[in-house]
Amino acid sequence: MPRIVIDGLEIEVPQETKVIDAAERLGIMIPRFCYLKSLGAVGACRVCAVKFLQGPFKGVQMSCMVDVQDGMVVSTTDDEAVAFRRQVIEWLMLNHPHDCPVCDEGGQCLLQDETVSGGHGIRRYKGSKRTYRNQYLGEFIAHEMNRCIHCYRCSRFYQEYCGYRDLGVMQIADRVYFGRFQNGQLESPFSGNLVDLCPTGVYTDIPARYKVRSWDLDRSPSVCIHCSLGCNTVANARYRTVWRVEGRYNEALGSEFICDRGRFGFGYTNQPSRPRQARVDSRSVALSDALKSAAEKLSRIHAASGPRAIACVGSARNSLETQTMLKSLCDGLGLPAPCFFVNSQTEKAVKRAVASLDERVAVSLNGVAHGDFIVAVGVDPLNEAPMLALAMRQAHRRGALLVILDPRPSFLPAPHVHLGFAPGELNGVLGSLVGKALETGDEGKLPPLHEDFLKSLPLESLFKAPVNHGEELDVVLSALQKSRRPVLVCGSEIVRENTPSLCADLALLMRSAKGQCGLFYVLPGANAFGGALLSGSEESSFMEVVESMEQGCTKALVLVESDPFLQFPHKDRLKRAMEKLELLIVLDHLPSLSAEMSHVFLPTSTLFEVDSTFINQEGRVQWSRAVHEGGIPMEQWTEGNHPPRAHGAIIPGQDFKAAGKVLEEIARNMGASGEVSLSDPRFRPGKGASPLEGAPGDRPGDGMRLIPRESSREPFSAREEYFTFGEDAGDSLELLLVEALFGTEELSAHSPALEKVEPKPHMWMHEQDASMLGFSQDDVIAMDLEGGVVEVRLKVSPSMARGVLVLPRHHRLQWQKFRDISVRVPHDRMRKS
């Protein structure tokens, strides 16, 4: 590793580290406009100039363009370098407006900072300035082109990094313009990053625009909980309102970027419709009274009907603290173990995934970005885990072949091979793909167990079946054979329950053949991992809870930040079952039908109001700090007047608690012995203390992986079951209820910013299935189902799987009329309406 001396300080850095980054490690922040580690260097702005005193380069050079080499001695404070930088800034400022006080970027502007620190305080240029016309870029981002300093970060990010093609750089010389061909909503679901990465005020965040100044904001490190990846963020709040969410760099996740769902999805925490008032039997009461009443009522049922009459349901959006408390409440009172998944099919898949993940194969998002062959099985990256799509794109940019093995139409912003197979075929196709690649590969001898497993993979037969994919399969096969760092990405929503275990086995197999293979699961929800660790055995499921309510065995239901109506296939059935309950206790911060039906409602805090812990899909524990205490946002409380004219001792709307605390008090009031134990062995990857117990300051900034070195699951044990498939499609379509980028995820569905861009409800069919049924694109299809008629607009795709019906669970669509989650919809139940 080369060593360099910068301003008299010596440091050793990995090969290919840029001088600008080496300096940063020493705490020396060299000015920069165009350089961004995640985008790489282009040397466009010339403001990172430093002087090389010794070594292979001499004189003033751009520190972002030079890799550290042994013997380099660099000065950032040398007169010549300082003068150079000052001059560059002065040039950049020639055309820049002088109106920082009315610019929304003011106070958080890199240009402002570098101008002042670079020593260009007094304007010498007297001429007139170049001006541009701004564009309408949609609902998220405002455009003020006069502020541009032509660093090219935005166009490089938008086109090269993300692969979208509707924003870029136009014109020539001093007219260079960054924008779109015409006014219109930016197409990229990662567009919000422009706000963070533009060094000046060209792109500003519309929901927060002209609302706050950065120095007035409370800021805290937070974690995105709008999907299972857990991208790192910074939350910004003032006056009891969360205004803005920004991306935050995490080395393991590999970037500082987040998707627009994660950036603009926070609105639920500020919503006027957020339930903040505790209620008992429709009476508004103080939280403390509601807590007592909840405990009393529960105790009564506990005493009269026994602990088995009480069921507790949490969710994948619970923090780990909440899940742990719920678990210990159940344990302490002898209740059945809590359930964290409404969809039992998914639950099984998630549990298998969690049980399979270990250090031998698990890779983080950054690991995906560095794979040389990525196959994504039963997962729709852009819609289920948007940043995964970007990581895959980075892998493609480094030369990887991307393969999506999934029934849905695929929307990856990168060239890829899409193999559209139905869920029942995924195991077979994947198994044969890997089997074929290894069989003919030259990897040498495998351990006997692995060899056996390899032999058990179905080979030829599957390659004959998908005639239409013949050529593509050959390409895929040869790329997989050559691959040295393959990564298997596996979903959990639409796959068969054993697909995650198969992927784990195949990953182990490829690892022993190739020396290395990554495994990356996508789970349904920010803390699905925690839910899987803490819920009961594989056999208990929400469906059983429903049946037990129907039979009158379950008399009390405690819903902890969970609204089963959003996921349960049959709304009326669930409603009837819940109406039979003697007691429904709901803890939540989202409005919901469950909350409306509850006998006792206990308002809880959101992510932004309490320190909380989440485990992402790779088993990485991440901590989010509260940004404020919450309460009714000042804007709503004062009805737009500011400052408030009436003053009191209490902050309105603050009578809530973290769900974990609510549960803890209920447990205490009921005399439960249950002690929350974050020192539980489940939370301890090695021998040391649980990572959950340390003080915030001691926690690793990139989170901490909570998975064993070797999974205790027995590998290669389920061979036969993997490849029994092939239920005949017959005259029906397999229903796949799926996630969409915008409009399905529970929390962000309450965000006013996203509501403006979410697409209308729709469903997908293969174009041949559609034409066979006499349907075409944009027809409204009525499905006559057990629970009534669902009407939804049809989209058709030529590349998706035959025999499936893909229905995003859009929050504006009352789709919950199916008998079960895994059902087939007969052809004759569908008609054009």
For helices 448-456 and 423-439, what crossing angle results, to 10°?
130
Residue closest to 285 by CA, chosen among 592, 590, 598: 598
495 binds, among another protein, ligand FES, ligand SF4, none (CB under 5 to 8 A by kind): none
State yes or no: residue 813 binds ligand FES (CB under 6 A): no
- Tell me how far, at minimum, the Cβ of 152 lies from ligand SF4, in Å: 5
User: Which of residues 120 and 261 has its CB atom nearest to ligand SF4 in the complex?
Assistant: 261
DSSP conformational letter for 156: I
State yes or no: residue 43 binds ligand FES (CB under 6 A): yes
Separation CA 475–CA 488 (nearest Å): 17
Residue closest to 195 by CA, chosen among 115, 264, 253: 264
- Report the residue closest to ligand SF4, judged by CB: 262
181 binds, among another protein, ligand SF4, ligand FES, none (CB under 5 to 8 A by kind): another protein
User: Which of residues 48 and 558 has its CB atom nearest to ligand FES in the complex?
Assistant: 48
3-state secondary structure of 790: strand
Peptide bond into 808 cis (omega under 30): no
| CB of 656 closer than 8 Å to CB of 276 | yes
State yes or no: residue 149 binds ligand SF4 (CB under 6 A): yes
How many residues form the binding site for ligand SF4 (CB under 6 A)?
25
Counting every residue, how long is the chain? 833
679 binds, among ligand SF4, another protein, ligand FES, none (CB under 5 to 8 A by kind): none
Q: Which of residues 609-628 bind ligand SF4 (CB under 6 A)?
A: none
- Tell me how far, at minimum, the Cβ of 607 lies from ligand SF4, in Å: 11
The correct pick among 45, 545, 765, 805 for binding ligand FES (CB under 6 A) is: 45
165 binds, among ligand FES, another protein, ligand SF4, none (CB under 5 to 8 A by kind): another protein
Q: With b meaning 16 or more CB within 10 Å and e meaning fewer, what string describes 528-540?
A: bbbbbbbbbeeeb
User: Which of residues 180 and 302 has its CB atom nearest to another protein in the complex?
Assistant: 180
Separation CA 338–CA 718 (nearest Å): 28
47 binds, among ligand SF4, ligand FES, another protein, none (CB under 5 to 8 A by kind): ligand FES
The correct pick among 108, 200, 516, 751 for binding ligand SF4 (CB under 6 A) is: 200
Residue closest to 678 by CA, chosen among 699, 647, 655: 699
The correct pick among 42, 60, 65, 169 for binding another protein (CB under 8 A) is: 169
State yes or no: residue 183 binds another protein (CB under 8 A): no
Separation CA 104–CA 112 (nearest Å): 12
State yes or no: residue 161 binds ligand SF4 (CB under 6 A): no
- Tell me how far, at minimum, the Cβ of 150 lies from ligand FES, in Å: 11
CA distances from 332 to 322, 327, 570, 674 (A): 15, 8, 32, 4
Residue closest to 526 by CA, chosen among 293, 781, 758, 225: 225
The correct pick among 3, 37, 130, 150 for binding ligand SF4 (CB under 6 A) is: 150
- Tell me how far, at minimum, the Cβ of 64 lies from ligand FES, in Å: 3
State yes or no: residue 170 binds another protein (CB under 8 A): yes
Both structure tokens of 282: 């429709």
The correct pick among 19, 64, 353, 737 for binding ligand FES (CB under 6 A) is: 64
State yes or no: residue 125 binds another protein (CB under 8 A): no
User: Which of residues 171 and 478 has its CB atom nearest to another protein in the complex?
Assistant: 171
CA dihedral 199, 200, 205, 206 (to 10 degrees): -160
State yes or no: residue 128 binds another protein (CB under 8 A): no
What are the contacts of 827-831 at 24+ separation with CB within 8 A? 827/731, 827/732, 827/733, 827/773, 828/731, 829/783, 829/784, 829/785, 830/733, 830/773, 830/775, 830/781, 830/782, 830/783, 830/784, 831/781, 831/782, 831/784
The correct pick among 26, 44, 593, 782 for binding ligand FES (CB under 6 A) is: 44
| CB of 487 closer than 8 Å to CB of 363 | yes
Rounded (5°) CA angle 799-412-424:
50
| CB of 358 closer than 8 Å to CB of 506 | no
State yes or no: residue 168 binds another protein (CB under 8 A): yes
Element (H, E) at 586: strand 583-588
- Tell me how far, at minimum, the Cβ of 111 lies from another protein, in Å: 24
Separation CA 541–CA 547 (nearest Å): 10
Separation CA 620–CA 703 (nearest Å): 6
Separation CA 395–CA 18 (nearest Å): 21
User: Which of these ranges, 38-46, 202-210, 421-429, 712-720, lies near ligand FES under the rule CB under 6 A?
Assistant: 38-46
User: Which of residues 35 and 203 has its CB atom nearest to ligand FES in the complex?
Assistant: 35
User: Which of residues 387 and 672 has its CB atom nearest to ligand SF4 in the complex?
Assistant: 387
Element (H, E) at 735: strand 732-738
State yes or no: residue 426 binds ligand SF4 (CB under 6 A): no
User: Which of these ranges, 42-50, 118-126, 155-163, 634-642, lies near ligand FES under the rule CB under 6 A?
Assistant: 42-50
User: Which of residues 42 and 823 has its CB atom nearest to ligand FES in the complex?
Assistant: 42
Mention every residue, 6+ apart, whose C-beta is less than 8 A from residue 778.
793, 794, 795
198 binds, among ligand SF4, another protein, ligand FES, none (CB under 5 to 8 A by kind): ligand SF4
User: Which of residues 89 and 280 has its CB atom nearest to ligand SF4 in the complex?
Assistant: 89
- Tell me how far, at minimum, the Cβ of 250 lies from ligand FES, in Å: 22
User: Which of these ranges, 33-41, 67-75, 124-132, 662-670, lies near ligand FES under the rule CB under 6 A?
Assistant: 33-41
State yes or no: residue 167 binds another protein (CB under 8 A): yes
Mention every residue, 6+ apart, whose C-beta is less than 8 A from residue 8.
none
How many residues form the binding site for another protein (CB under 8 A)?
12
Both structure tokens of 424: 């029942």
- Tell me how far, at minimum, the Cβ of 170 lies from another protein, in Å: 4
Mention every residue, 6+ apart, whose C-beta is less than 8 A from residue 571.
565, 787, 814, 816, 817
State yes or no: residue 181 binds another protein (CB under 8 A): yes
State yes or no: residue 259 binds ligand SF4 (CB under 6 A): yes
Separation CA 385–CA 109 (nearest Å): 30
For helices 499-514 and 344-356, what crossing angle results, to 10°?
20
User: Which of residues 63 and 222 has its CB atom nearest to ligand FES in the complex?
Assistant: 63
State yes or no: residue 736 binds ligand SF4 (CB under 6 A): no
| CB of 366 closer than 8 Å to CB of 394 | no
Separation CA 358–CA 495 (nearest Å): 20
631 binds, among another protein, ligand SF4, ligand FES, none (CB under 5 to 8 A by kind): none
- Tell me how far, at minimum, the Cβ of 34 lies from ligand FES, in Å: 3
DSSP string for residues in 478-530: HHHHH-SSEEEEE-SSSS-TTHHHHHHHHHHHHHHHHS--EEEE--SSTTHHH
State yes or no: residue 764 binds ligand FES (CB under 6 A): no
State yes or no: residue 172 binds another protein (CB under 8 A): yes
Mention every residue, 6+ apart, whose C-beta is less than 8 A from residue 214.
107, 108, 236
State yes or no: residue 48 binds ligand FES (CB under 6 A): yes
Binding mask 189-208 for another protein (x = CB under 8 A): --------------------
Q: Which of residues 137-166 bind another protein (CB under 8 A)?
A: 165-166
224 binds, among ligand SF4, ligand FES, another protein, none (CB under 5 to 8 A by kind): ligand SF4
Binding-site ranges for ligand SF4 (CB under 6 A): 148-154, 178, 198-200, 202, 224, 226-227, 229-231, 258-259, 261-262, 385-387
Binding-site ranges for another protein (CB under 8 A): 165-172, 177, 180-182
Binding-site ranges for ligand FES (CB under 6 A): 32-35, 43-48, 62, 64
